[in-house]
Structure 1
Amino acid sequence: MYSGAVLSLFTQYQTLEYLDLSYNQLRGKIPDEIGEMVALQVLELAHNQLSGEIPSSLGQLRNLGVFDASHNRLQGQIPESFSNLSFLVQIDLSYNELTGPIPQRGQLSTLPATQYANNPGLCGVPLPECRNGNNQAATSSDLDGGKRRRKPAAVSWANSIVLGILISIASICILIVWAIAMRARRREAEEVKMLNRLQAVHAATTWKIEKEKEPLSINVATFQRQLRKLKFSTLIEATNGFSAASLIGCGGFGEVFKATLKDGSSVAIKKLIRLSCQGDREFMAEMETLGKIKHRNLVPLLGYCMIGEERLLVYEFMEYGSLEEMLHGRAKARDRRILTWEERKKIARGAAKGLCFLHHNCIPHIIHRDMKSSNVLLDHEMEARVSDFGMARLISALDTHLSVSTLAGTPGYVPPEYYQSFRCTVRGDVYSFGVVLLELLTGKRPTDKEDFGDTNLVGWVKMKVREQKHMEVIDPEILLVTKGTDEAEAEEVKEMMRYLEITLQCVDDFPSKRPSMLQVVAMLRELMPGSANGSSNSA
């Protein structure tokens, strides 16, 4: 429950379309900056302790359809700027201390009187006429002595007609609002029934809605204009109720589903594990920050959605899946694609650039904490994209370490020093990235008892190098797809040995001896055609 003057904290989220802070203990004035949240469609502030005047800047919210500030202590007049809210279909200002006339232009005068009730000083259609207007009418009639007796009767007759018309209009408006509300309730009920039906059919889904009143038509907060109208109910339909058939991945942070939208495009939906310790404000702040992080070699966050205790993240869909699946997951598939040496170098460079951007270009810097081949995704051009970086904590620019109390990372990728300090560092990320490089070079998993016994991939490679058996480390499949002259093959083998040297630097047991990701990117660039060590000149 929010309390105090915290409403201003939400004004920085200018992409929000739905803000419900009702039934809290908010105090103070409604900040003028809310008028800058131009994407808002629903603003719920009912049952708080807000005071002061309604800021006229709210009239700038051209997309606002619902505004509920009832049961507060608001004073002053309803801003004339509210006449500009052409999409407004519901407003509730009842049980406040508002005064003055209701603006007659726009939608306000067409709404039911109950939505302005219990504001003793409020007047004007659909409420009774303002007294000042009545006094002026009386004064004018007194000045015309010749018509003093006839005019009151005429005014009374005209007022009766106007009152009858207003009552009819108000009744029609009430019926329209009631019909809209009933239609919305039926739609939400149908969506819940659809979800429950899908859950019954697909027992493997972990999705659960505990309350039918949850707004399934809530908009998804998005960072892409083309997804601006994406709704939660659309995600349910596009994933067939988050069924097992739509499940494409599962990790420590949650499950990932493929969602095919009505326009034929696809997105990936990550349904996070429940984080009871993280509040709405912290989650929204982190998502707004991550939504601004853009790089060619990072999987972009397109949007997010909060409903009940569930948290959904919307990502760009990667056509070729993960590097782990490409290397290890299709051993028995007939259409399995064997990565060439050039493709493996390209993937290594791309993943290095993505991790380097997180370490050196983001303020504050970001430690990945779980760098592994399943978090390196491949787009339609086989370009590497680092994923799950948003699940890591943002570290302070003044603090180069992040203390954690539980084991972070995946076995086989965790640096040896972590087991002593339980600290996540950028050098630890470099070690994990080195393991990914070894997977590309050897084609082996980080942990496999059949291959390594009691050790792991890093220990096995170091042993082979000590025994001067470097070629036994190379994935035989690389040599199978190598095409060219013997001289070209020999040149590739030299590159692989240089690649192995870079990798061994990354997985050094001593963190201080490992290179930074900037240095790793520079060293891998030397393996590109056209570099100082290359044999041709190409981009």
Structure 2
Amino acid sequence: MELIFITTLFFLLPFTHSSCNDDLSVLASAFASVANFQSPDCSNLRSTLQELILPSRNLTGTVSWNLLSTIPSLRVVDLSGNRLHGSVPGGFWSSPSLLDVNLADNRLGGALRFGRSSSLKKLNLSGNRFTSAEGLSGLPGLRSLDVSRNELGLVPVGLGELGELSYLDVSCNSMEGDFYRDLGRVLPRLRFLNVSYNNFSGKAESMTTNKFGKSAFVNAGSSAFTSAAASAAADTSSSSSTSTHDQKKEHKNNSVRSGRRRVNRLLAVVVAASIAIGLITIVGFFVCAVKRRRRSERGWKEEERGVKAAEEVPAWVAGAKWTAPVVVFDKPLMELRFSDLAAATSGFGRESQLAEGGRSGAAYRAVLPGDMNVVVRVAEGATEAEECEAAAGFQEMAKLRHPNLLPLLGYCIAGREKLLLYEYMERGDLHRWLHELPTGHPGVEDWSADAWEPQHSTDDRRATPASSPPAGSSSATSEDWPTRHRIALGIARGLAFLHQGWAGPTSTGRAPVVHGHLVPSNVLLGDDLEPRIADIAIAYGAGGTPEGDVRSFGLLVMELVTGRGGGGGGGRRRRSRRSGST
């Protein structure tokens, strides 16, 4: 039996190798006009080419999609985050084995015409330049469709025929049309929907907005998506207003008729009253003159106080869009606006300010409805970004979830100004914990001696190095060394997730994230002193390399061990106070 198995394997091996070489030959031809493409070899593949996963590889050029579709076993294609251009012909979608295609964030454009494919389940074409889409009815098994951030203008033809579709994102397409006429057939089947930043007409019923959340309808149309309840309330108000107007008119007519009968009596009263008013006016003139003089003496003081108050409110607040909605990811039904953030931060005044900006932007403490303690940070690097671009970047940031990363809770795009919402961390940041907390503060012990200075005990042995959070000038006991070790380990885990885990096997298609500014002020501490890395610039990358992050981590660990700062404050501080993000 073993001999038969070995013999069969011996005969099949050449055919397997030949099939792999055939696939790679077709692949090389398909990418002949693409710069920076490196073809895999058969030693790294199975018997056939089943997955083509090359995200964020700086691929530039035009792919021969029809050639690529001739690879019979190709199931997954991920070429996202490159610079591919040209159009995608309808023949590519007819490949019988394709299950998952991700061409997001390239420069592909033109019209999309889908051929018939019974196998395709997931399609992501976001962040390109496609101008129209038709033939979706040829993809009956499609479950997830993302065509956001394109130039479609109209809802894709055949969308209503997709009986298995559960995920749909058509945001940022300047789409026009009636919401329910164009999307009504597919709504009952959907679990996720985003139609933000379009120009739909009509209105979304309250049941629809409750199902998908307010964040699915941000700026979705000039007069669209007013809930049915609000519309009914408006109709009731209008009816009530009309009735009230009629009643007032009738009352006015009655008053005029009765007034004519009283004219004679009132005339005598008016003459007498005029004389009395004249006397009162003379007396009042002298009283007002005295008060006016006193008021002018106080006026300059009040004006000076008003100028100071105005100076405390940032200039950008006046130009912000006060009706802009606030998107809260974990609470999609929460209805907040920029005006609510302004009210919760005293108009973004200095009393609510935690940090004055620097690289990360100014930060403010706010308590939102439901006792949500948050930090509102002004994303200074995003002022020039378009609304759709900014929204897409913030949504990508929100996907970064790890116990040692500070998650993005929500955002608000108020015109040019973009605001980010983070959890407020009561213990503040690592820089404050190391250098600003006074001796005797909970969790901080005296560190007046050098942590590594030899100390002699009664048996003439060296004591264990000092421990505990080094607070400026303090000494510590050895039992708190594990705390600092845990902080360093947590930072390392968070950084490793950004560099490797985020782009690992379970997150196919995602490029590694470089932090670029890992300093103690960007490490926040939870109640249990578990560290969380903040200021992750995924949406508007600040440059840097993984090697630079590792070097910054080494400097941070040295500061954590020695208690001596390395100049890594990372921003201008408002004051030494508890903050959620600096």
Q: TM-score range by the shorter chain?
A: 0.3 to 0.5
Normalised TM-score (structure 2) = 0.43
Relative contact order higher in (CA < 8 Å, ≥ 6 apart): 2
Normalised TM-score (structure 1) = 0.46
Look at both structures and tell me which one has the larger radius of gyration over its CA atoms: 2
